[in-house]
Structure formats: C-alpha cells, structure tokens
Amino acid sequence: MVIPQHVAIILDGNGRWAKSKGMPRNYGHVKGAQNLEVICEDAWKMGIKYLTVYLFSTENWKRSKDEVDALMRLFRQYTKTCIRTARDNNMKVRVLGDPSALAQDLQDSLRNLTESSKENTGLNFQIAINYGSRDEIVRAVRRLSQDCADGKLEPAQITEELFSGYLDTAQIPDPDLLIRTSGELRLSNYLMWQLAYTEFYFTEVPWPAFTKEDLWKAIEKYNSRERRYGGVKTESQ
Ligand code: IPE
Ligand code: IPE
Ligand code: MG
C-alpha cells in the first residue's frame, strides 16, 4: 500500500452530525475537535507525513454570531491542547490563512504554537483558520507585486515555483489526497492552487464519526487510482 505523503481534509458535517443526535451544533464542533486529535495520531502511525485540515474558512464568518463565538472559544482551547500535543508527539504545526482577523489572544496562542513546534520532526500538521484560497492568492499577489515595485523581482522571473513560495503553503509539498467528509462535493475555497493534481475522495461519514478505518478506506481508494503527473513529491521539489 502506498501511503500518501500529504493528506488534506475538509472536515465537514459537525453540525449535521450533532443535529442527528438531537444536540446543538456546537456539540458537533466539540466532538469534531476531539476527533481531530485522534486522527492526527492515527495519520502519523499510518505513515502520513503531512496533514492539512480546514478549521474555519473566510466564508465561515457569515455564520451566526453565536456559532462563530463558540467556534472561536473552541479554537482557543484547541490551540492550547495542541501546544501540548505538538510537544508530546513531536508535531510541527503551521497555520494557513490570515490570522489578522482573529482576536489578539488567539493570534498570540497560534504564534506560540507554531514557534514552539517549529523544530519538531514528526507529523507536519497544518491548520487552516480564517483561510480561503482566493484570499491566500490575493495576499500572495500583493506581496509579489510589492517585491516587483521595490525592484527585488522582475515580472519575467515569476514562475509557478516562485509563486508557490508566496503562498501560505510555501515549503509544503502539494497534497496527494484530499478527503471531504459528510457528502458535499465541493472545495469551499480550499487549497485551489495546491490541489491541481490531487486525488479527491468524498465520503458520507460526518467528521465527528470519521475513524481511522475510514481513513484507510480513503487510502485504499487512492491506491486503486492511477495518478497523473508526478505522484508523491518530496519537500525539496
Ligand atoms: C464543519 O462542520 C466545521 C466547520 C465548518 C467549522 P459544519 O459546521 O460545516 O457542519 P455542517 O456541514 O453544517 O453539518
Ligand atoms: C468548509 O465547510 C469549511 C470548513 C470545513 C472549515 P463549510 O461547511 O463551511 O462549507 P460550505 O459552506 O458547505 O461550502
Ligand atoms: Mg459544513
């Protein structure tokens, strides 16, 4: 079995899962966050080197204030737990997205998380929070244009590789496998540049109920596909 080097997940369906149990949406988010801890360890044990998860999109601010507030409280808690988990499990955590819209204490916690784990050599764990692919590309273009305006770069020097280096995922290989839970068949503004040749796997299972057996199923399916253009890339490529 070939284990994909980089798996990206759109962890969806927390709300519907909770509703199916007669519980409020936030219960689904709490259980979803707990499940993320479990799947992170499972992924590393299976041999996955990079795991990138979508926690909050640039569009998710449009949800009700109550839900956004509850999610932010949960992220605060999750970030603190993650600092410990990263230390115990040797995980290197990176944040994708624009943290500037988050509360200052959450930004500080996230910086602490990435700084304290940056020398770790285990699972490379990326959390996308206030992330949107279009926003990421626009932020990259802004910095790139500034470098051109400052005379550091000529437009003719811009290549795909150079542009990739301006994205939040600079230095991270493209995902080999994308998983979206809970039945929706769309990208919801996730990693649009990076997923150009990624294999997609959709499952009806909602995120809080997603287990390592479900992850295996996705990897088995991935193995049955014939990949085009490159397959697994190394970090240096
Ligand atoms: C995914 O679950 C978690 C976040 C987007 C924060 P949802 O909250 O989207 O749950 P559903 O899709 O409404 O069931
Ligand atoms: C995508 O899920 C964002 C995250 C998982 C964080 P959504 O549930 O927000 O996506 P849409 O709104 O159904 O496209
Ligand atoms: Mg959803």
pLDDT digits 0-9 by tens, 51-79? 999 999 999 999 999 999 999 999 999 99
Question: What one-character DSSP code corresponds to residue 61?
Answer: G
Q: Residue 114 C-alpha to ligand 2 middle, in angstroms?
A: 24
- Asked whether residue 216 is domain-assigned, the answer is yes
CA 28 to centroid of ligand 2, rounded, Å: 14
188 CB within 6 A, ligand 1: no
155 belongs to a structural domain? no
Residue 237 lies in a domain: no
Q: Can you list the residues of the chain whose pLDDT is less than 70?
A: 230-237
CATH number at residue 94: 3.40.1180.10
Domain-embedded: residue 235:
no
- Name the token pair of 51: 């795991």
The boundaries of the domain holding residue 29 are 6-132+174-224
Residue 142 lies in a domain: no
User: How far from 52 is each of 58, 111, 123, 131, CA to CA, in Å?
Assistant: 16, 17, 10, 12
CA distance linking residue 92 with residue 115, whole number of Å: 9
Does 77 fall in a domain? yes
Task: Tell me the one-letter amino acid at 137.
Answer: I
| Assigned token pair, 115 | 């700084």
Per the domain annotation, does 152 fall within a domain? no
Q: Is residue 167 in a domain?
A: no
Separation of alpha carbons 103 and 105, rounded Å: 6
Q: Where are the beta strands (DSSP E) in 91-198?
A: 92-96, 124-131, 177-180
CA of 43 to the centre of ligand 3 (A): 22
pLDDT score at 230:
56
Number of domains forming the structure of the chain: 1
Which atom belonging to ligand 2 lies closest to the Cα atom of 131?
A: 6
Contact 118, 92 (CB under 8 A): yes
Q: What is the pLDDT of residue 227?
A: 79
- φ and ψ at 170, to 5 degrees? -50, 135
184 lines ligand 2 (CB under 6 A): yes
